[in-house]
Amino acid sequence: MHPEPVTGATRRVALGVSYVGTAYKGWQSQPGGGTVQDALEAALTAFAVVPHKVMCAGRTDAGVHGINQVVHLDTPLNREPFSWVRGTNAFLPPDVAVQWACEVSPAFHARNSAVGRRYAYIVLESAVRPALESGRVGWVFRPLDGAAMQAAAAHLIGEHDFSSFRSAMCQSPTPVKHLREIVVRRCERAGHAGAYWRVDFEGNAFLHHMIRNIMGCLLTVGMGNQPPDWVAAVRDARDRKVAAPTFAPDGLYFLGPRYDPSWGLPEHVPAMDWLPA
């Protein structure tokens, strides 16, 4: 039985959404469909029988994955959190799933209430290209120097003008962002010459293609083509043309936003334990 509308009242509901971005044109809805937002809104509308639109914490590009994307919606319906999860998932494709739901104050805003955003990039270092992980990891066939990459990343911590790492299509009103942390880790595979690498990013916000452009530079350093200090020169040039090419979207995961704990929203979902640690 479908829920009855609550006359004269609306509720704000937050959802945590995971998705594999490979088959989608990115998060944001666009004419012609084919985005994660389109799939989610269609499922919500099918479940609730009335149209629903969502606002997300952070838009992701085509091919980029979401682990704990947070959205909010305003609804006249009164449903238990588990019903929003199970009911919406019944209408979603297999590569998109709502992980949790929580009724929140009308003051909550998925994007504007976020105090930070977290991403992870997974790279396979191997002489042979990925197969099972195709679309889920980036790939380099040359050995990487983790210490050099971490030293290069240190030049990007803090508040900077990130114009050198900004795509021409970026719509942000300012290139100045605050990167709080970049952590480079090698995830060993026993008995194998290669390895998975995980690079974690946390900042207040990110420009379009910013992480993929930073990854291109870090890998250039990691493969020995440039010294770590080169990244500082790229940063200070404020010119996209001096940086490395944009790296593939395949291994990029939006881990989710950070909110003040007072909102009581989950920051961890099971898929986070699936990523190399």
Please tell me the predicted confidence (pLDDT) of residue 259. Answer: 98
In the chain, what are the domains?
11-113 (3.30.70.580), 116-254 (3.30.70.660)
What's the DSSP call for residue 165?
G
Sorted by sequence, the CB contacts under 8 Å of residue 2 that are 6+ apart come out as: 48, 49
Tokens found for residue 246: 């944009």
Please tell me the predicted confidence (pLDDT) of residue 193. Answer: 63
Whether residue 220 has pLDDT greater than 90:
yes
Q: Which of 38, 61, 161, 250 is catalytic?
A: 61
CA 179 to chain centre: 15
Please tell me the predicted confidence (pLDDT) of residue 46. Answer: 96
Please tell me the predicted confidence (pLDDT) of residue 277. Answer: 81
Can you give the pTM of this predicted structure?
0.94
* Residue 185, phi-psi category: left (phi > 0), alpha (psi -120 to 50), beta (remainder): beta
3-state DSSP of 188-242: ECCCCCCEEEEEEEEECCCCCCHHHHHHHHHHHHHCCCCCCHHHHHHHHHCCHHH
Whether residue 44 has pLDDT greater than 60:
yes
The 10s digit of each residue's pLDDT in 158-171 is 999 999 999 988 88
The 10s digit of each residue's pLDDT in 181-193 is 999 999 976 656 6
Tokens found for residue 15: 């959802």
Q: Count H helices, E strands: the chain?
A: 5, 10
Tokens found for residue 192: 């194998």
The 10s digit of each residue's pLDDT in 127-173 is 999 999 999 999 999 999 999 999 999 999 999 999 999 998 888 89
Asked if 215 and 121 touch (Cβ cutoff 8 Å), the reply is yes
Average pLDDT over residues 11-40: 96
Q: Active site includes 61?
A: yes
